[in-house]
Amino acid sequence: SHQSPLWPGTGSPHERGAHDNIMNVPLPPGSDGFHMRGIYEREVLPRLEAFAPEFLFISAGFDAHRADPLAELNWSEDDFVWLTRKLSNVAAKHAKGRLVSVLEGGYDLPALAASVKAHVETLCEVAK
């Protein structure tokens, strides 16, 4: 998911890849965690469950945080925890827990630090 419109201008829901294996979820400016969670519950997670991945790769961008100066999304650390748990559950169910997360973005350093901490703590918690 990503804010749209925003640079670089790609990520339309119609861009699905040659094998229909890409799902872009553009969110309008001002979208909060409640909005994101609803879209993930209705659209993203069911499609991910149906796909039954053998491996999950998270490109973890934290610029959706409400304090971030570049995007206009209003997520909190709790929203990143919720999303991390949901994706970890998919990995546990379909991928034998195989999940890699790499840092992608986040430009307010205190918000980035708090969000990454919450994300990594959740990954450690669910890995037990």
Domain presence at residue 83? yes
Domain presence at residue 17? no
Note the pLDDT tens digit of each residue in 26-44.
999 999 999 999 999 999 9
Q: Mean pLDDT throughout 73-80? A: 98
State yes or no: pLDDT of 85 exceeds 80. Answer: yes
The count of structural domains within the chain is 1
Q: Mean pLDDT throughout 74-102? A: 98
Domain presence at residue 3? no
Whole-angstrom CA distances from 3 to 11, 13, 32, 89 are 9, 12, 11, 25
pTM above the 0.85 mark? yes
Of 12-26, 63-77, 87-101, the poorest mean pLDDT is in 12-26
Domain of residue 66, residue span: 29-127
Q: Is the dihedral of CA 77, 82, 86, 88 positive or negative?
A: positive
